[in-house]
Amino acid sequence: MHALQKQIISDIQQARSACQQMDLSAGKDVPEHFWFWPIYSTKLPETSDNEDDDNENNFSYNYSNGRVAPVEINFNEMDEDELD
């Protein structure tokens, strides 16, 4: 990953945190668009030995206030063109 990509991802993460703080202070409990706030994943307990550990279904996704969120965007897998 190039330095520019790292800087863009860092800027996105900082902006998302700022948006979340502003929305929460305005009384919102979910963002207007899911990409406005950071999303956190939690690994769910294993249900069987046959499932793949990296499967998205093995995680729950939430905002910091505990509200359910969609699957997080993995910015590290995007190239510079997608990040611009």
Mean pLDDT of 2-26: 94
* pTM of this structure: 0.77
Report the alpha-carbon distance of residue 37 to residue 40 in Å, rounded.
10
Looking at residue 33, what is its pLDDT? 95
- Terminal Cα distance for the chain, rounded: 15
Q: Do 31 and 63 meet the contact criterion of CB atoms below 8 Å apart?
A: yes
Per residue in 24-62, pLDDT (tens digit) is: 999 999 999 999 999 999 999 887 665 555 666 799 999
